[in-house]
Amino acid sequence: MYAPVNEAELSALIRLLEDPDEAVYEPVSKRILEYGEQAIPHLEHIWETTDHAEQQVRVETIIRRIQFLEISEKLNTWRRQERPDLWEGLLILDKLHHREDRSDVLRLSLEKLRRTAWLELNQYLTPLEQINVLSRVVFEHERFKGIDAARERLAHHFIGDVLLHRSGNQIGLGLLIQVLADKLDLPLYTLSIPGIIVLGSPNMLNPREKKGIDSIDFYLDPQTGELFGRAEIEQYLRRIHQPVDHAFFQPLSDTGVVDFWLGKIGQKADELDETHLATQARELRQS
């Protein structure tokens, strides 16, 4: 629970951010943080109007910290749910890259896409046919396109940017397809196979008797929408000199997907010298 807004105190605290003395700045910034998101409009006004460079830098730092603490708190609440919903977790994390709240726009965009796919599906299709329909809607009807590693940017990792700009890298598109599959009750799960992001559909025949690689019927490459089978996965693992490990074929939980994604975001941010984002991703990641 945040402290009630005391307008006079908050204004005075923000003015004190001009003081170059770090001994002043530390308790002042700590007190402003206690106001949480309530302080952001006041801080943004100062950031836009001040001519004091040091104050502007400090204001921006505090705004970012407030927003990060909000994200962290909401993500922790999401994790504690009995059945966390991947889409809701990703909406929380969208604010790592975009200061504004885009959740309403993103919900509408996803619902339009989900409905388009739903209209193409029917109960008589096999899982293979269902996933093929979903892939066709995403890549042919809606014209999403995959971005290779050499051209990817941070935005290509975020499902919100993938939705709005119709392009993403392997993990960004993988998140989108996974969320759509969840919303459509289709049998598709994110797998942790080394070096790639791939989605797998479980064997529906005697599933309790199937373990590891035998538990997956077929796979989807989220960057291209192509479906493929066991032979291609085994060939890939041989090419990278990686023995088949049954753990690779264990579907990630929704919280596991989020932590996997945070790891990838941290790596990419490091590559781009986005130190602030890399640090935040590591702080939010649980594993």
In the structure encoding, which two tokens stand for residue 82, read together?
């009995």
Backbone phi, psi, residue 205, to 5° = -95, 115
Tell me if 266 sits within 8 A of 281, measured CB to CB: yes
Structural contact between residues 251 and 189, judged by C-beta atoms closer than 8 angstroms? yes
Q: Would you give per-residue pLDDT tens digits along the chain (287 residues)?
A: 565 677 888 888 888 888 888 888 889 899 999 888 888 888 888 888 877 788 888 888 899 899 999 999 999 999 999 999 999 999 999 999 887 889 999 999 999 999 999 999 998 999 999 999 999 999 999 999 999 988 999 999 999 999 999 999 999 999 999 999 999 999 999 998 998 899 999 987 665 667 789 899 999 999 999 999 999 999 999 999 999 998 999 999 999 999 999 999 999 999 999 998 999 999 999 75
Report residue 267 as tokens: 């790596």
Q: Nearest 10 degrees: CA dihedral of 266, 272, 275, 277?
A: -50
Predicted structure pTM score: 0.89
Position of tokens 């919903």?
Answer: 85
Q: Where are the domains of the chain?
A: 7-79, 86-284
25 with 58: CB under 8 angstroms?
yes
